[in-house]
Structure 1
Amino acid sequence: MSGKRIEFDFTVEFTNGGGLQGQGFRLDIDGDDIDDAALAGDLVRDLRLLMAGPVRITRKTIIDEAHKRVAPPARQLPGIVELSHVVCDGTVTYPGLPAPRICDYLGREASRAHYAEGTEFQIARIDMVANTGTYVDCPFHRYADGADLAQMPASAFADLDAVVVDADHRDLRAIDAEQLRGVELRGRAVLVRTGWDVHWESPAYADGHPFLTEAAAIWLRDCGVVLVGIDSMNIDDTRAKARPVHSILLGAGIPIVEHLCNLYALPREGFRFTALPPRFAGVGTFPVRAIATLGDAATG
């Protein structure tokens, strides 16, 4: 903890009317400085202000002075774990499918002609197939009469009670129903942790990846799961042309998320899973920002 404090004047405007002013107010800070936005947040939290709107900080001075109180224990906030791969221009997700092309539709320099002096924007253009990066499959991906992304409710992808099933790729490639026994599955998103994501963007990623068997898919369907995810290139065995896992799960309306990553960072249970796609009609697959929510938010 540093021996720095900050003295400042402030004005707080409340969203339900009225305001609050302070002069010569002092707060402990970590480090040698703090920006106005962070200072405003600390002020609102320390004073436990409700309905706080804009906060204006003036006459800010850093003081070499010992902290006046012992800092309280850090508040335990829910943690967010990123479970999606980063997609860049040229990233290959599935060998044989084209990589995305990411470029400017309107660059910053060109945009200046459209706006006032000193104002510029970038508008990106992305050309890609839907099976890019970490993505979700919904029934329309497999079945012409299945629900597409626009027809699936957001609740199918968001804030799902989830559980991790360990199936290390160094121990097995074909993940059968036996590996899914002894786990509370009903009503949950099931994330299969194989560790195969270590091969992402390497030739090995497509070579001999782990997958679920048909029996595993039947077991998951019959146990009433609501979503199945895997950190592998495909949930099916791509050495064969049949896709029984996709057929069984999507036929039952159970979304599939492929190409997950960082599942090693998750506990076995006690977290929530979200992988929301945009609402495109006539599309059965699309990239998602998949996350796990740990901590207090996982107890609801």
Structure 2
Amino acid sequence: MPDYRASFDAAITFGNGGDLTVHGFRVDLPGPDATESEIAALFVASLGLLMADTVELADVRIFPEPHKGTRGGPSDRGRAQGAPGTTAPVELDRAVPESGPFIEAPGGDLAAVPLSRSVDLPAVVVRVAGATARAVDVGAVAAFDVRGHAVLLHTGAHDGFVLTDAAAAWLVEHGAALVGTDSDELRGAEGRTTARERLLGAGVPVVEGLGGLEGLPPTGALFAAPPPRLMGVPRAPVRAYARVPQ
């Protein structure tokens, strides 16, 4: 089966201001039926663009051509490597412990959450604090390699931000091990399946009410939020922490 690529023009706006326009850009595709939203996500990932808000494509052409190794694409075999040394654990709690953090388990059973989804996970910190748009969409997360990672949403607010259905689905598809946020609640777009339900339904634990995310690097830290072994209990306070590379 031949490889496929796409050529397109694109215009991007960013949540913290500014824009970018490209013409005739090319990315590797997983197949000839890739959608424009998938192509846009590959474009953002290939350039490692952070805080992308809107991505508009034009003059999209899909054609057979050998893959060139687009970062984040179907032929990208690269994986982020952890730092050889780390500091002492950094607490990710809040000044008022009663307000978080909490962990919620897939299947409503904290005792069934494996350590592989809650301890020593390489972390990516998605910074949207200060962004005009209050929705975390695919453009905000597509720049990161999230497979096997804890994806931590740094919103800088206790409420008001939502994780879109498309972003939650993208995180599931790309193998995120856990999703955390400094908001009180991981909310989805009104009137649709909530992001929490989509993630939990796919076996991805959710941690809400984190603190201290502003002190973590975008990548390189190790995140941990080991849940208590409480059979049949869906949600409980957790002592979350991170180890930061030296």
Q: TM-score, normalised by structure 2?
A: 0.61
Higher relative contact order (CA 8 A, sep 6+): 2
How far does residue 79 in structure 1 lie from its aligned partner after superposition?
A: 3.2
> Which residue does 1:230 correspond to in 2?
181
1:174–1:278 CA distance, 2 compared to 1 (3 A): same
User: Which of these residues, 104, 107, 114, is aligned with residue 140 of structure 1?
Assistant: 107
Whether 1:211 and 2:162 are equivalent positions in the alignment is yes
Q: Cα RMSD (Å) of the superposition?
A: 2.0
Alpha-carbon distance between aligned partners in 1 of 2:102 and 2:193, rounded to the nearest angstrom: 17
Question: Over residues 80-118 of structure 1, what are the superposed CA-to-partner deviations in whole Å (9 max), with x where a residue is unaligned?
Answer: 221112445xx4x4xxxxxxxxxxxxxxxxxxxxxxxxx
Q: Which amino acid aligns with 1:85?
A: R
| Long gaps (5+) in structure 2 | 1-84
Alpha-carbon distance between aligned partners in 2 of 1:87 and 1:222, rounded to the nearest angstrom: 35
Question: Over residues 210-269 of structure 1, what are the superposed CA-to-partner deviations in whole Å (9 max), with x where a residue is unaligned?
Answer: 12011110000001110011111211148x465521121111100011111110100111
| 1:145-294 matched pairs, under 5 angstroms | 148-196=109-157, 205-206=158-159, 209-237=160-188, 240=190, 243-294=193-244
- Aligned residue for 1:289, secondary structure, equals coil
> Which residue does 2:7 correspond to in 1?
none
1:77–1:173 CA distance, 2 compared to 1 (3 A): closer
Alpha-carbon distance between aligned partners in 2 of 1:87 and 1:163, rounded to the nearest angstrom: 25
1:234–1:241 CA distance, 2 compared to 1 (3 A): farther
Q: Which amino acid aligns with 1:252?
A: A
Question: Over residues 112-160 of structure 1, what are the superposed CA-to-partner deviations in whole Å (9 max), with x where a residue is unaligned?
Answer: xxxxxxxxxxxxxxxxxxxxx211111134xxxxxx1112222321111
How far does residue 176 in structure 1 lie from its aligned partner after superposition?
A: 0.6
Alpha-carbon distance between aligned partners in 2 of 1:233 and 1:188, rounded to the nearest angstrom: 21
1:236–1:246 CA distance, 2 compared to 1 (3 A): same
Alpha-carbon distance between aligned partners in 2 of 1:186 and 1:77, rounded to the nearest angstrom: 21
How far does residue 171 in structure 1 lie from its aligned partner after superposition?
A: 2.4
| Long gaps (5+) in structure 1 | 1-75, 94-132, 142-147, 197-204
Q: Which amino acid aligns with 2:176?
A: V
- Indicate if the aligned counterparts of 1:169 and 1:210 stay in contact, CA closer than 8 A: no
Q: State the percentage of identical aligned residues.
A: 40
1:159–1:77 CA distance, 2 compared to 1 (3 A): closer
Q: Which amino acid aligns with 1:136?
A: I
Alpha-carbon distance between aligned partners in 2 of 1:245 and 1:77, rounded to the nearest angstrom: 32
User: Which of these residues, 75, 90, 96, is aligned with residue 81 of structure 1?
Assistant: 90
Alpha-carbon distance between aligned partners in 2 of 1:290 and 1:243, rounded to the nearest angstrom: 27
How far does residue 180 in structure 1 lie from its aligned partner after superposition?
A: 1.0
Alpha-carbon distance between aligned partners in 2 of 1:232 and 1:169, rounded to the nearest angstrom: 14
Alpha-carbon distance between aligned partners in 1 of 2:238 and 2:130, rounded to the nearest angstrom: 24
How far does residue 276 in structure 1 lie from its aligned partner after superposition?
A: 1.2
| 1:32-43 matched pairs, under 5 angstroms | none
- Indicate if the aligned counterparts of 1:149 and 1:280 stay in contact, CA closer than 8 A: yes
- Aligned residue for 1:190, secondary structure, equals strand
How far does residue 174 in structure 1 lie from its aligned partner after superposition?
A: 0.8
- Indicate if the aligned counterparts of 1:236 and 1:243 stay in contact, CA closer than 8 A: no
> Which residue does 1:35 correspond to in 2?
none
Question: Over residues 187-216 of structure 1, what are the superposed CA-to-partner deviations in whole Å (9 max), with x where a residue is unaligned?
Answer: 1111111111xxxxxxxx45xx21201111
